[in-house]
Amino acid sequence: MESLKTSLVNTKWLFCTLASLITGFMLFFMCLNEGRRTGNIFLLASFSSSTVEQANISLYFDSPSNLAMSPQYSGSSTSTPPVNATPFPLKELDTVSQQAKAVEGSVVVTPLPESSKANSSVALDGIISQEEQCDIFEGRWVYDEERYPLYHAWQCPFLSDQVSCRKNGRPDSGYEHWRWEPRGCEIPRFNGRDMLERLRGKRVVIVGDSLNRNQWESLTCLLYSSVRPSRAVVKAQGSLYKIFRALDYGCSVEFFWSPFLVTLEEMKGGNNTKVLKLDRLDGSAKRWRGADILVFNTGHWWTHRGKMKVWDYFEKRGKLVEEMEGDMPFRTAIQAWARWVDQAVDPTKTIVFFRSISPEHKRENNHWCYNQTKPITNETYIQLFPRSMVNIVERTIQKMRTPVKYLNITRLSEYRRDAHTMVYTSRQGKLLTPDQQMRPESFADCSHWCLPGLPDTWNVLIYEILRNHSNVL
């Protein structure tokens, strides 16, 4: 009798189990068919908060039309959140399941929101470097009064009058607070102490015209403001040579004045006749050797004409000529520079940068810098600097044996007509007088940049490139 009862119980349990399974399958297929009919698909998943954080996954609630699953979890420049998606930060992940019940739609695994992409580099197939995720030279300017400027002018007592705009009477300060934000990723705020550690025992050499001197002053301020003033030394030999030393780090940052990179020399016999020797590097080149980081630029001085032109003759292969066709002088000089780099630089020990053209905003180009307090927002804005000269530099670099990192700051700087020194500057070593300041059409400087200001971003980008090549520095 007892065995019969047990048998009946087992039979009932079996039938109940089968009935439950059948009912479950029927409900599942009914839901599936309903989902196909209406476009709603329900995803069942059980993620722990820690698992999601490790995978760098963010959840979005979205309409069925935007349903997608992306394998690029973190920071791919081609991966963007679905249109109209609402991001939920990871710290709120524990409440997602409760919120999901109140939202009609579906749970979608998508890339991180833009604000969370800063250091995201994990993907399904491994680690992706930030340099591969986005072009750090493409993006937008964001006003950031909390984190910018990166230093204050009073922290750099050696700043030249040429770039000390606030000291020279500029009334506004908004130009100091703009932060460059690349499209598709974020770059960290400049860390002076970290940069100094990377430069420990190393030598940085910056060579070029007054715009590269502008960049040297910026980098020097960024580093000087990160150490005790008593442990830093700044010296100058006029405008031709400047050096910053951080004593506790054994590093230096030097500037050599060489606006053409090749030799400009006065002819023997007087008469103040000057010759630009296109195939001979500047005399200071012997002092560039041995640097761990080299930063070059040239360009603006080649476009000077009339009274601004500083040469009388070109010299090539020992022959003097007054004129050369088109951009031939510039091409010859850039090729001479490239040969020097290939012969004199050990790429296993030295990183070479070439900074692209720093744009001007003169009165003639409809985007005059005078009295401007905000960046240009028109993305179709086109500069007037000769494109042929830019092409010569870019093509020459591509053909060199020595790797050269092209610091392509032209486009991002074109938007910053507000950041020039304008009339709050000096000319030929003297501050503009009140009368000169009242004549901006003659005296406004729309070439150089205030500090703190735009050149700080150029150095932030160098810092970011060095961070992504930590095997070198």
- Sequence-distant (6+) residues with CB within 8 A of 125 are none
Catalytic site residue from 62, 445, 447, 456: 445
- Residue 100 near residue 43, CB atoms below 8 Å: no
Using alpha carbons, select from 239, 166, 213 the residue that is nearest to residue 425.
Answer: 166
**DSSP secondary structure string, 33-70?**
HHHHHHS--PPP----HHHHHHHT-EEEEE-GGG----
Q: Is 445 a catalytic residue?
A: yes
| Beta strand pairing call for 262-266 and 251-257 | unpaired
Q: Is 327 a catalytic residue?
A: no
DSSP state of 282: -
Distance CA 330, CA 392 (A): 8
Distance CA 249, CA 292 (A): 14
Catalytic site residue from 79, 120, 164, 210: 210
Q: Degrees (nearest 5) of the Cα angle 270, 276, 282?
A: 105
Distance CA 41, CA 67 (A): 9
Return the half-sphere exposure (C-beta side, CA atoms, 13 A cut-off) of residue 176.
Answer: 21
Helices 454-467 and 210-224 pack at an angle, to 10 degrees, of 70
CB atoms within 10 A of CB 30: 10
| 305 to 11, 209, 309, 328: CA distances (angstroms) | 103, 17, 5, 16
Helices 387-399 and 328-344 pack at an angle, to 10 degrees, of 30
- Sequence-distant (6+) residues with CB within 8 A of 303 are 385, 386, 389
Q: Quick one: which H or E segment has residue 252?
A: strand 251-257
Distance CA 298, CA 360 (A): 14
Distance CA 114, CA 107 (A): 19
**DSSP secondary structure string, 398-415?**
HH-SS-EEEE--HHHHHT
Catalytic site residue from 74, 164, 448, 456: 448
Q: Is 448 a catalytic residue?
A: yes
Q: Quick one: which H or E segment has residue 22?
A: helix 2-38
User: Which amino acids are annotated catalytic?
Assistant: 210, 445, 448
